[in-house]
Every structure is written in C-alpha cells, then in structure tokens.
Amino acid sequence: MSKPKYTIAVTGLNATDNPGPGLAVIRSLKEAKSFDCRIVGLCYEALEPGIYLNDLVDKTYQLPFPSAGQDMLFDRFAEISDKEKIDFLFPNFDAELYNFIKLQRRIEMELGIKMFLPTLDQFEERHKVNLFEFGKAHNLKVPVAEMVFTTNEIHAMAAKIGFPLVVKGKFYDAMIAYNDEQAEQFFNKISAHWGVPILFQEFIHGSEMNVCGLGDGKGNLKAAVAMRKLYITDKGKAWSGVTVDDERLIEQTRNMVESTKWRGPFEMEYIKTVDDEYYLLEINPRFPAWCYLTVGAGQNQVETLVNIAMGIDMPSLTEYKVGTLFIRYSSDLIVDIKEFEMISTFGEL
C-alpha cells in the first residue's frame, strides 16, 4: 500500500545562535515512515538560513511580520495556497502563534490547511506573566515572579525577590542579574526587542531539565521525551543535551496535559534542585529547537502530530532511548546572491 504524500509548510527557519524549531521539525518530517512530504518553508527575513538549504526545503515564501495583523497573514496564505495546495502547517514561533490560533478555523475551512495548535485559552494561561497562577491551578511549583513595566519599579521588585534573579522577555530572552545595575541594563535591552512587561523571576539553583511532548486535546499525553541540558549558551539555549530517565518529570508532564487537556506540541522547562524538587520555568506552546532529538531517541513526535491532525488514530509513544545526545553545531552556507535577491524582491524562492 502506497504512503500518502503531504505538502507541509514550516516556519522558524532561522538557524542562528537563537535557533527556531523549523529545521528540526523539517528533519523530523523527512524521517517520517508513515508518509512522504514536500516542504514549503515560510520565512520573515531574507537571511534565515533554512531558505537556502535545498536538501531540506523545496520552496520558500516570505510572510508579513505578525505585527501586520491577521488579515494580511490570511491573504498571503491564500496566495501561497493557490500555488502549493498545502495540507498541513507548522507555526514555530511564539510571537506568531496568536495570529495562527485565531485564524486556525478560517485557514482550515477556506484554504483546506490543517494545523494542530493549543487553544487560545491554553496559549494565554501558560504565558510567562501568568505562569505562577498556572502553577497553582495545576499543582506545579513555579518560581515567584513579578511583572515590571518601568525602570522605576526595578529596585523595589528586586528587593522583594532577591538577587540573583532572572530577567525575562514576554516572548524570548532570559538573563540572570546579580545587582540593580544589571537588572536595569537587562530590562532596557530586552524591552527594546520585545516590549513590556518584563518578568522578574526568582532564580532557582539546579539542573535545567526539559520535556518535549504532545497532547491530543483530550487529556492524553501522546508522546514525551525528557532531556537534561549539557551546554547552555549566553542566551540560555541548549547547545547540547542528553535524554534522561526521569519518571517524576514525565509524570508531572502527564498531569499537566491531563489537567489542561493540552492540544498540540509543547516544551516544558524545569529546574531540578539538589533536593529533587522540580520548578516549572516555562511552557512553550510549540516544538522546541531540539525536537529532532526525540527522533534520535525513538519518538518521532512531529510525525505523530501530523497523523493525529489528519484523523489517524495513533498509539501513545511511551518509550525512548535514554543516553541519546544532541550536539548543535554551526556551519557556513554558501549561497548565490541571486537567490538572496529573489527572496528579497519577490518574496519566494
């Protein structure tokens, strides 16, 4: 029996020092055993490296930035859909998810493009600024955190939380401050990129542990792989990590999915203290940039998600190989200037 072939669109092609998940998602799709696929890359800027990786991306289109609004985004997808007949779409940036969640039903009904995303309530509830209340509601330990809107609030807020503390943007970036001067510096730097509020969070000492997983929207955990970060960049990104056997971590994740009826992919970021306590730092409502590790460990979560969205009943993935490492690397990509001009001028390549 022949396998189906899907045209799948993927955002997040920025394989930089703060990489998007797009290339990891594409590599996972390329290794799917239950279907074949053609990949349409979706970019926001002409220098996103994934645009030019022809062995992974068959065609690329440029999208309007999320700030342009939902109408412009839908109109652009209508143009792309006329040419490509896309079956499934993976949005991979936090900053774009709000628009895609709001447009999900319209995109599917009018353009025939499926997505499998969290609900708007789930997306908002797990937001960094709401995470402390989320933890109380779902029996998860979360570090104390406060929102800061102006530099005038920093001294009093820092005195309340204590140093060191973590300064976080509402979408991306996290920096550890050890005094008022650093806290103000990081506030200004992050707010210039992502706006306010900025989150000031209690710093918890311990090992950084992450879980990449998938919920079916009915309370069932369809897949989960736990990983411990081995090397972390100055942006707080894992540059290498190893899968670990941590049943308590998986159980906490299962309880979150059951309690919230989480729909779609997610990454849960924890700190495990020396006293074996787990503090939830973030829930990212999409696959992380390290999700290809799940394939190496025996769970192709990206493939599973596509099949679920296509109405195929998939068994839960409960086993994975412990001791599997990922090691990220950088490489020079040689590109003809004409390709750069094409994507910059015409918005497709």
Percent of the chain with pLDDT over 90: 70
Asked if 322 contacts 243 with a C-beta cutoff of 8 angstroms, the reply is yes
Render pLDDT for 73-90 as a digit per residue (tens, 0 to 9). Answer: 999 999 999 999 999 999
pLDDT at residue 1 in the model: 64
The encoded tokens of residue 79 equal 């143009």
Q: What is the DSSP letter of 21?
A: S
Render pLDDT for 299-341 as a digit per residue (tens, 0 to 9). Answer: 999 999 999 999 999 999 999 999 999 999 988 999 999 999 9
Distance CA 9, CA 99 (A): 16
Distances 247 to 171, 207, 254, 322 between C-alpha atoms, Å: 29, 16, 10, 12
Average pLDDT of the segment spanning 251-274: 95
Residue 62 has pLDDT above 80, yes or no: yes
Average pLDDT of the segment spanning 244-273: 95
Residue 25 parent element (H or E) = helix 22-30
Average pLDDT of the segment spanning 271-291: 93
Residue 123 has pLDDT above 90, yes or no: yes
pLDDT at residue 198 in the model: 87
- One-letter amino acid at 140 equals L
Render pLDDT for 150-200 as a digit per residue (tens, 0 to 9). Answer: 888 888 888 888 889 888 887 777 888 899 888 899 889 888 887 888 888
Which of 255, 244, 219 is CA-nearest to residue 320?
Answer: 244
Side by side, the strands of the sheet bearing 221-232 are 278-284, 263-272, 207-216, 221-232, 238-243, 325-327
pLDDT at residue 322 in the model: 98
- One-letter amino acid at 321 equals K
Look over the chain and give the mean of its residue pLDDT values, rounded to a whole number.
Answer: 92
| Contacts by residues 75-80 (CB-CB < 8 Å, ≥ 24 positions apart) | 77/107, 77/111, 77/113, 78/110, 78/111, 80/9, 80/40
* Out of 193-197, 256-260, 280-284, least confident range: 193-197
Is-above-0.75 flag for pTM? Answer: yes
Distance CA 123, CA 258 (A): 16
pLDDT at residue 121 in the model: 95
Average pLDDT of the segment spanning 274-290: 93
* 212 against 171, higher pLDDT: 212
* Out of 21-30, 190-199, 236-245, least confident range: 190-199
pLDDT at residue 273 in the model: 93
How many other C-beta atoms can be found within 10 angstroms of the C-beta atom of residue 46? 18
